[in-house]
Structure 1
């Protein structure tokens, strides 16, 4: 007499489970990809005063129209004030002086060059540029704001997906113990 506990997993059950796990892995990977793309044209991050230096890093940031630039203060006493921008744009920057840990972001819709400064340190050369373009220089490209943890999660999810599909292939090709299990 066979009880339910004695029965092995059927190919269909295994395949259903494997496909469920693969779908979950694809969903996680898709979420990480969606975070990378962001709304519109992606985004980039600019460090404000990294290492206590009076610079923006990178000095020139590239985003697509609809892309977001996030400025992250890494030292205190800085701001982001536009000096020039394309006609029809509405960027007002962030004039208040902020300290380390503060973040400010803006989504750029209008293509063109946006030049900005940190007003307390403009005389020291603390200047930056945002280039909103559909065609960034090849050697520069668009910077990614996707954190390393999201990249790691995407790689792990893809590894799990490949592993589950490999096991499904193995069990479908070579089968399992489907003989009579009489005891």
Structure 2
């Protein structure tokens, strides 16, 4: 057998194994990337209008729109996670009628007073250690139409994994997407090399020959 002769089965086995490994790595990284840890919000918060979530831990100041959405009957973000010491400013958009910010349940004592409809009106609240946990709040005049929201304060709050995927998979917080792309390229390259080699390479023999 010449040096150009290669075992067909050995070559296919090697290429197939590399492709399978790359595919498995891609699938794993994709599952990990799809998962995200969020506070375990009470149902009154998750059923609130709009439903946008923002992890603002590490930020010293955060703004929440009051009167967001197409009909002006939402808080945006609806679900907000911050550290203690963060100043939250609720700013009125002027849409949806008169609004206010009042705690339904939880540690933070939110109360912006009477409802107002003035665009640019603001209410500020600096969260402290006493506010640690999850607070559900609402707009009193629009309680029945779902103008609810929540804030999570500090690291010691109940959390859940969101975004789908296998809950038993190892979570890779950073680099998962890059790993998936790299392994996909490796898989395609391996299969491409197999095709080129078999079509244009030297004589290929069978193990049974």
Q: TM-score, normalised by structure 1?
A: 0.47
Task: Kindly indicate whether structure 1 or structure 2 has the higher relative contact order, using CA contacts under 8 Å at least 6 residues apart.
Answer: 2
Q: TM-score, normalised by structure 2?
A: 0.42
Q: Which of the pair has more CA radius of gyration?
A: 2
